[in-house]
Structure 1
Amino acid sequence: MDAATFWSAATLALLLLGVVPSLFLAARGSNVQRLVGLQLLTGCSVMVLIGLSIIVGQSSYLIVPLVLAVLASIGTLVYTRLLKPGLDGQQIVEEE
């Protein structure tokens, strides 16, 4: 088995086993579950893009997953900043 076939199989496995559960988590669930789904989807996307750049044989294509990883970490920080107590279906009781 040559390297391109191996990386093609690994990329397909990541697409099937990683993207489907992450999309389910990102679409349904609480705010924290959606955040976990978003992080899982980003990680799988980075790995799939790395696998595709190896399959094609162009190392210049590695810039896209690197930028995606940096932007995803910043996006996660922004998303967690927006998560405030009470947005997850919990009521905040203010004391008088």
Structure 2
Amino acid sequence: MSPWLLGAAALLVGGLGPAVLLTMRGDPVRRLLGLQLAGPVTVLVLLLLAQGLGQSMYLIVPLCLALVGFTGTLVFTRLMRPRA
């Protein structure tokens, strides 16, 4: 097993697990924090998987996710604001 795939597995357990728990529980600020943590960790996991599998065409998805992750956070924040 390649070290790239082991790194991806470690990030899935150690990085994405806590991010998902933060996103599922707590007040809106904590859920937003979990969402902000999950985006970059997911991008890193997908990059490591692309490198470990030796498929450069798999790099498209994490690069697109890196670009639209911030926009998704802005939409989430706008939907969670209190309505007047």
TM-score bracket, shorter-length normalisation: 0.7 to 0.9
One-letter code of the match for 1:83? M
Cα distance in 1 between the residues matched to 2:55 and 2:2: 16
State the match for 1:17 in structure 2.
14
State the match for 1:57 in structure 2.
54
CA shift, 1:70, in A, is 1.4
Q: Percent identity?
A: 46
The one-character-per-residue Cα deviations of 1:46-70 (angstroms, maximum 9, x if unpaired) are 1111011001111121110011111
Q: Does 1:5 align with 2:7?
A: no
Bigger relative contact order (CA 8 A; separation at least 6): 2
Which ranges of structure 2 fall in alignment gaps of 5 or more residues?
none
The runs of 4+ residues in structure 1 deviating greater than 3 Å are none
Cα distance in 2 between the residues matched to 1:84 and 1:67: 27
| Count of residues paired in the alignment | 84
1:38 to 35, 40, 59: 35
CA RMSD, 1 decimal: 1.8
CA shift, 1:84, in A, is 2.3
TM-score, scaled to structure 1: 0.78
Cα distance in 2 between the residues matched to 1:62 and 1:27: 28
Cα distance in 1 between the residues matched to 2:22 and 2:15: 11
One-letter code of the match for 1:9? L
